[in-house]
Amino acid sequence: MTLLYMKVLVTGGLGFIGSHTVVELQNEGYEVVIIDDCSNSSENVLEGITSITEKTPLFEKIDLKEKNKVEDFFKRHHDIEGVIHFAASKAVGESVEKPLLYYENNIGTLVYILKELCNKNKASFIFSSSCTVYGQADKMPITESAPVKMAESPYGNTKQMGEEIIADTCKVTPSLNAIALRYFNPIGAHPSSQIGELPIGVPQNLVPFITQTGVGLREELSVFGDDYPTEDGTCVRDYIYVVDLAKAHVIALQRLMNGKNSNNYEVFNVGTGTGSTVLEVIQSFEKISDKKLNYKIVDRRPGDITSAYADTTKANEILGWKSQYTLDEAMKSAWDWEQKVRS
């Protein structure tokens, strides 16, 4: 049973995954407060959330690197019982160029929030982690017990370190309960097309690049390599629909708030369990849009792994969560959103 009016802080709640999670939280009756510094998002997202849920979440534009502002926020909102922490920088390439920015943004802010939560009698914390912690795993599908490989970038390192910081803190803080969700590749947009992904500049990720090419904003998609040891030579990933992913956060939070967790720090993979090649993703786009996509095969992208898809048994059986949407449905939502944004 969902307890009504429980107050939840969503950091980065105007971002791609954050905004979809705010919608699902509000649909479940939670009172949501968003903190976002709008460095990679826009305040207009609030309108999208409001039009879907008929409720405007509280919003404070705060830079979480400012420790005194974080302290002041938690003083004013002393009744916050749960935090879903999305706010982070996420561009892999940029993190290589500016490592300290990433350590400050992703680690410094995490520490400030955890410090506040440790002062509470009881607190629930959900952390945005990533399948990137596995690197190129030896076995597919990837289970949560697969070894965490050396990070390939400062960004990936911040996710690994983030998990360790939370685990270490939970060990000595019984009042703190946390879950790290390791996302695979989130895609799509809300079915209403009121919120979705808004990459700044040239998209680095596959699906927004495809939809921007489809709509004519980009001339051609470059497919990075077709000589990988996979079915058709292109890389395999597990593309998870963002609304399914958002729901996993609500279920994880409920698990903690209802005291159903078996340990005060748990980790779950969040994916579909199915791998798709880049060419299969292109085919899906062509099917749902009834358009031919302009693409060419180019060299491999440095740093890309061959294959990554999730074993979702733990999330299915212990969390009680399972992805519902197909790749085609997720792709259709991304395409609808792209067309709406450009119209």
β-bridge pairing 221-224 and 236-237:
unpaired
Question: Is the Cβ of residue 73 or residue 209 nearer to ligand WQD in the bound state?
Answer: 209
Q: How far is the CB of 282 from ligand WQD (least distance, A)?
A: 9
Among 89, 106, 130, 264, binds ligand WQD (CB under 6 A): 130
Q: 134, 155, 239, 241: which is the annotated catalytic residue?
A: 155
Total residues at interface with ligand WQD (CB under 6 A): 18
Q: Is 224 in the site for ligand WQD (CB under 6 A)?
A: yes
Q: Is 205 in the site for ligand WQD (CB under 6 A)?
A: yes
Question: Is the Cβ of residue 90 or residue 332 nearer to ligand WQD in the bound state?
Answer: 90
- How far apart (Å, rounded) are the C-alpha atoms in residues 226 and 92? 22
Q: Is 309 a catalytic residue?
A: no
Among 50, 173, 222, 339, binds ligand WQD (CB under 6 A): 222
Lookup: tokens for 9: 């802080």
Among 27, 173, 204, 283, binds ligand WQD (CB under 6 A): 204
- How far apart (Å, rounded) are the C-alpha atoms in residues 298 and 277? 15
DSSP code, position 131: G
Question: Is the Cβ of residue 206 or residue 319 nearer to ligand WQD in the bound state?
Answer: 206
Calculate Rg over the CA atoms of the chain.
19
Contacts of 146 (CB under 8 A, 6+ apart): 134, 137, 138, 139
Q: Which stretch binds ligand WQD (CB under 6 A): 25-33, 170-178, 204-212, 248-256?
A: 204-212
- How far apart (Å, rounded) are the C-alpha atoms in residues 290 and 215? 12
Contacts of 168 (CB under 8 A, 6+ apart): none
- Mark residues 226-245: x for contact with ligand WQD by CB under 6 A, - for none: ---------x-x--------
Q: Angle between the 327-342 and 278-289 helix axes, to the nearest 10 degrees? A: 60
Is the preceding omega at residue 141 within 30 degrees of 0, hence cis?
A: yes
Q: Which stretch binds ligand WQD (CB under 6 A): 4-12, 69-77, 222-230, 263-271?
A: 222-230
Q: How far is the CB of 317 from ligand WQD (least distance, A)?
A: 24
β-bridge pairing 276-277 and 236-237:
antiparallel
- How far apart (Å, rounded) are the C-alpha atoms in residues 112 and 50? 29
Q: Are 51 and 192 in contact (CB under 8 A)?
A: yes
Q: Is 304 in the site for ligand WQD (CB under 6 A)?
A: yes
Q: Is 97 in the site for ligand WQD (CB under 6 A)?
A: no
Question: Is the Cβ of residue 66 or residue 295 nearer to ligand WQD in the bound state?
Answer: 295
Please identify every residue annotated as catalytic.
155
Which residues of the shown chain bind ligand WQD in the complex (CB under 6 A)? 92, 130-132, 185, 204-206, 209, 221-224, 235, 237, 278, 301, 304
